[in-house]
Amino acid sequence: MASELCKTISVARLEKHKNLFLNYRNLQHFPLELLKDEGLQYLERLYMKRNSLTTLPENLAQKLPNLVELYLHSNNIVVVPEAIGSLVKLQCLDLSDNALEIVCPEIGRLRALRHLRLANNQLQFLPPDLGRSRELQYVYVDNNIHLKGLPSFLYNKVIGCSGCGAPIQVSEVKLLSFSSGQLTVFLPAEVKAIGTEKDHVLPLQELAMRTLHHTYHASLKDLDFLSPVSLPRSLLELLHCPLGHCHRCSEPMFTIVYPKLFPLRETPMAGLHQGRTTVSFVAYCCSTQCLQTFDLLS
């Protein structure tokens, strides 16, 4: 089996194939042959359905830089590395039927991505910025029973969310949650604090982070010159990658969000789901003012 796999990949490399089918191979690890030397620079579509993969290599984008479609349906993938955000040409990503509990924010920053399939996983939340890209048009998260909140950027996208929204035992989840009426939505693990309409002053750390971000991004567009001597590593990493952007004004947020729920059953999309769903769109705002003025339907 191993020699046959190596031969298949070697032929694809020599003949500069654009499509490679590695379905039903009982693969437990990503084939090293795909990552040898310069990789497969011409490959555009990789099919690896029905295997036993648990993760993806960090250098995937370096070795397969021209991937347009990546099909990983029915594996055992638990974590997707941040490096997937470097697949700048990726238009279709299928991670259905895996064991994902979180989706790294970098997936939401794939600017060419049009189709994202995450059905039948164990997701409890989605990255706040998922759907921010205009290119993303189709998102399927069906049968993630613990998922009750969809970022409001997904409004007016084609969304599959049947089988989502089962009750969660709070004692089993170590995440911040936000409630409105009978709905409770758990927020991404990166969120450290939740603001409300009564909070008229931002926490000092959040104010400092936003000031630093505005100052250095406006002048140099590059934070690499800041060293750990001037800021702790944890804050440097946070400056490079905010936890999300305000759905009202696009202000970056670093430690706190002001969430607002819009039940799907109260939107025009309710008809697509027969009005029987507990899933909500979640707007992540940066301040009390944005929280009060943001309206999903306006």
* Lowest mean pLDDT across 14-23, 106-115, 208-217, 269-278: 269-278
Rg (CA), the chain: 21
CA dihedral 271, 132, 183, 192 (to 10 degrees): 170
| Domain map (residue ranges) of the chain | 9-159
Burial of 29 (0-12, 13-18, 19+ CB in 10 A): exposed
Architecture of domain 9-159: Alpha-Beta Horseshoe (3.80)
Mean pLDDT of 198-212: 87
How many whole angstroms separate alpha carbon 197 and alpha carbon 175? 21
Q: Is the model's pLDDT at 288 over the cut of 90?
A: yes
| Buried/exposed code over 133-171 (b: 16+ C-beta within 10 A; e: otherwise) | beebeebbbbbbbbbbbbbbbbbeeebbbbbbbeebeee
How many whole angstroms separate alpha carbon 214 and alpha carbon 286? 14
Confidence bin at 170 (pLDDT 50/70/90): very low
- Tell me: the pLDDT tens digits for 104-142? 888 988 999 999 999 999 998 898 889 988 899 999 999
Q: What pLDDT sits at residue 140?
A: 95
